[in-house]
Amino acid sequence: MDLDFVSRHAGRPVAALTRRDVARALLVVPSGVALVGLPDIKRAMIAAGNPLTPVFWDTARSTLSSIESGAATIGDVQRWLEASGTEPILLTPGYFVWPEEDERGPVAAEMYDLFVAHLERLLQAGEIDPDALARGDQAARKAYEDLQEQWLNTPLPDGRVPGFSVSDEQDEELFSAWDEEEAFALSELHRILEALPRSPELPAADLAVAAARLREILDLPGYPGNVLRACAGFDEQPQPEDDEELWVSVAAGIAGPISDLADGPGDEAVFFDLDAELGHEDMVLGNLCAIQHADWLAAVAALARLGPGVLASPERLARLVAESEDIDLELGHEEDDDLGTTERLFGSVVFLWGYLGIVDDSDVLTPLGWWGLPKALERAWSPAD
């Protein structure tokens, strides 16, 4: 490793290299290699008229030595890199997180480069003291954090706000990936249902009884009515008058909750209290949202094949998911920890299913559940009109 390597890695001539450029180059090679090359790089930088400072070279040596000995943490290394004065803070005090370099979209990559250029201008103007940052000066660190927050939340000349632009791009990528996964799961569900020897008929009498009981529950305050309303989005829209539409909407909401719980008195204070424990209803909704498309597909496909009368307890569903041939499972999915997690998540599902008559008091699949679960899953995964 030599100065030419650093220059090539940074894409700059030696005279324009910054602390960040040198630090990033040192970190892409094994720490032992970087330690051996460090004195020659320092001498070459001095000879080229870009000496940096003794503080930088001392902290570079100590950081690389700590990495080599195994004592350095990821946070230690990141903090040293940020102390270069032109490295964006990975996690700002306002909880903005830059995506990893290989995960940045076009907008994030553009904003990141713009911000690095902005920091370089501030460094050259003397508004950032990298030696103070490297020494751990708290005032310098606070100022560095504040200027990053300010830039992220200040509109650019074209009107874009950097922090919001990056977050919006990440949201779009997440939603796009989610839509693709959902579309694939829906196509697999259709394939599986088409291969069944027969389709269940609507048990009209059972549906009428279940819908009547469901309307009573939805009109009651507290659990489980509040969770079922949130799942179906009934806190924001009226309940359907048609029994089948009502029942399928709620059953679909369990597989894909539409909204959060309606806010109640004091909820805002709890939301901003990071140490507060989640309430039972929030935990139930969290469990529903944590179940993957593949697990829903495996569970419902198995129940559709087995038909009414089969045990549909959380433990049984977890085993059906683990043994499913309808989905690709990662190696080790059947380990006890994975089965336990799947069972816990489906525990919330089966409990709510009981209120819809999908399972009986013994967690056995009913004719209504056999008929309705595929329809509910299809509704949950179909694009909104």
pLDDT at 144 over 90: yes
The band of 237, judged by pLDDT with boundaries at 50, 70 and 90, is: confident
**Cβ-based burial of 249 (10 A; exposed 0-12, middle 13-18, buried ≥19):** buried
* Rounded mean pLDDT, 332-341: 64
pLDDT at 364 over 70: yes
pLDDT of residue 265: 44
Lowest mean pLDDT among 94-98, 341-345, 363-367: 94-98
Q: Where are the domains of the chain?
A: 3-167, 197-381
* Cα–Cα dist 45/36, whole Å: 16
- C-alpha distances (whole Å) from 58 to each of 1, 161, 265 are 18, 37, 55
The band of 176, judged by pLDDT with boundaries at 50, 70 and 90, is: confident
Alpha helices in 125-224 (DSSP H): 130-134, 138-152, 162-194, 204-218
Q: Global pTM?
A: 0.66
Instruction: Output DSSP code: residue 265.
Output: T
* Rounded mean pLDDT, 53-79: 94
pLDDT of residue 275: 46
Per-position DSSP letters for 133-159, written without gaps between them: HHTT-HHHHHHHHHHHHHHHTS--TTS
pLDDT at 140 over 80: yes
Alpha helices in the chain (DSSP H): 3-10, 19-27, 31-47, 54-69, 74-82, 106-124, 130-134, 138-152, 162-194, 204-218, 225-232, 243-255, 267-272, 280-290, 293-306, 314-322, 336-356, 367-381
pLDDT of residue 175: 86
Average pLDDT of the residues of the chain: 90
